Structure 1
Amino acid sequence: MKIVIVDDDILVSSALKTILEAGGEVEVTGTGQDGKDAVRLYDELLPDVLLMDIRMKDMNGLDAAEQILKMHTDAKILLLTTFSDDEYIVKALKYGVKGYLIKQDYGSILPALQAVQMNQTVFGTAIMSRIPGLLQKEQKEKEQTFDWNSYGIGERELEITALVAEGLSNKEISEKVCLSEGTVRNYISNVLEKLELRDRTQLAVYYLQRSRK
């Protein structure tokens, strides 16, 4: 199995190379120190598996993984990191990364590499237990993001609606957006009609209930 190792800590890269090559099953064909190295080395060497850290300077491992997977949809990437940040895990799943392990037990890395090479998905036990909750949370957040465009609310109308929700009068809004009071009043009337609301108080409540904080 030919792999590339990318980690901003040279000592970690060297240790991993020594450990993995000791058994004779793995050949480390290249090493790098940041996401840019990862993208370049993957293009040049096309390894069976890319073993990569996440937090690195210039370009992190997740950004590199996203870029690589756009160019090589069959790329097999195993992330090895000391961080189990929720955002990292969700992004890794979205991008199609094959594995995500926490740097604790180096003995688990070789089996993980072998599984990833066979196109299996490998996530550490602690991470696997969190994935259902993280995906459910993300779905709820998506549902809370209201689509104003589906009601025909344009950018200017939404801008004025937000100012109504802040409690500004038509005069104050007109001064802020450089429109006449009559034009502002027409915008508000149009939004009320599109949303089937009676007055600006309802509009303010409607906006605040559907806007992400």
Structure 2
Amino acid sequence: MRVAIVDDDPIVCSSLSTILEVTGTAEVAWTANTGLDAVRRYDANEPDALLIDVQMPQMDGLEASETIIAAHPDARILILTTFADESYIARALRIGTKGYLIKQDVSSVIPAVQAVMAGQVVMGAEVLGKLRVGSPTAESSRQDAPSCDSSDDHVPDRFANLTDREYEVLELVAEGLDNRQIAARLFLSEGTVRNRISAILAKTNIPNRTKLAVEWL
């Protein structure tokens, strides 16, 4: 698998390249630091998948992605950025990118790339928190990524103080998924999942995950 990386920070490009190549996940075909350069390089050397940031000089990542997809409809583009702005997410989905991740958990990059190559649409945990029923992004991505609504009128009081990310994990615990499966579904590390479950148990004063699932259901 050949992957290209586009980010205005050369250190990010270098770090991601190292992670992908050292783990044997992919060969990095090329890197670029602007959206305009990404478009030019993609046309000359098409990779199997493209990781691209949003805010960059000359041409932002979303405009570059739209240009690339228009010329290469089968392009597998994964947005990897620090911005969880709902308008960015909505536009990314609208133009046909294959996913949107926040640069918060490096361990999520490898399973995300693998999922995109398998034909899936990938949403990071923080992005899922933005997907609310009735929001511009919710309807277009509901079938591609799990989501839950922490504002539901039927949420018991003991769960009222959970964060959006904790609700996401809670939903999957209630479905019977183990930590490894939850990590894969939400593109997190297993350690992050364990920490979030521990936080949920502490906030709700529930002794274990079995009772947690029962209480939630």
Give the shorter-chain TM-score range: 0.5 to 0.7
Q: What is aligned with 2:31?
A: 31
Q: Distance in 1 between matches of 2:25 and 2:139?
A: 39
Structure 1's consecutive aligned runs of 4 or more residues displaced over 4 angstroms after TM superposition are 136-139
Report the TM-score, using the length of structure 1 for normalisation. 0.62
Q: Secondary structure at the match of 2:29?
A: strand
Over residues 72-111 of structure 1, what are the superposed CA-to-partner deviations in whole Å (9 max), with x where a residue is unaligned? Answer: 1110000100010111011001001101000011111010
Q: What is aligned with 1:162?
A: none
Quote the offset at 1:41 in angstroms: 1.6
Q: Distance in 2 between matches of 1:104 and 1:7?
A: 15
Q: What is aligned with 1:142?
A: none
Q: What is aligned with 2:150?
A: none
Q: Distance in 2 between matches of 1:27 and 1:108?
A: 18
Contact in 2 for aligned 1:4/1:41 (Cα 8 Å) = no
Matched pairs, number: 139
Matched, 1:129 2:123: no
Over residues 38-77 of structure 1, what are the superposed CA-to-partner deviations in whole Å (9 max), with x where a residue is unaligned? Answer: 1112111111100011100110000000101111111000
Q: What is aligned with 1:44?
A: 44
Identity %: 50
Gap change, CA 1:86 and 1:24, over 3 Å in 2:
same
Q: Distance in 2 between matches of 1:49 and 1:106?
A: 17
Over residues 153-204 of structure 1, what are the superposed CA-to-partner deviations in whole Å (9 max), with x where a residue is unaligned? Answer: xxxxxxxxxxxxxxxxxxxxxxxxxxxxxxxxxxxxxxxxxxxxxxxxxxxx
Question: CA RMSD for the aligned pairs?
Answer: 1.8
Q: Secondary structure at the match of 2:50?
A: strand
Matched, 1:97 2:94: no
Quote the offset at 1:130 in angstroms: 2.2
Gap change, CA 1:137 and 1:18, over 3 Å in 2:
closer
Q: Which amino acid aligns with 2:84?
A: S
Q: What is aligned with 1:73?
A: 73
Q: Distance in 2 between matches of 1:105 and 1:137?
A: 23
Q: Distance in 2 between matches of 1:136 and 1:79?
A: 15
Where does 1:1-213 land on structure 2 (aligned, <5 Å)?
1-131=1-131, 132-135=133-136
Structure 1 or 2, whichever has the larger Rg, is 1
Q: Which amino acid aligns with 1:66?
A: E
Identify the structure with the greater helix proportion: 1
Structure 2: tracts of 5 or more residues without a match: 141-217
Contact in 2 for aligned 1:62/1:91 (Cα 8 Å) = yes
Structure 1: tracts of 5 or more residues without a match: 140-213
Q: Distance in 2 between matches of 1:11 and 1:108?
A: 18
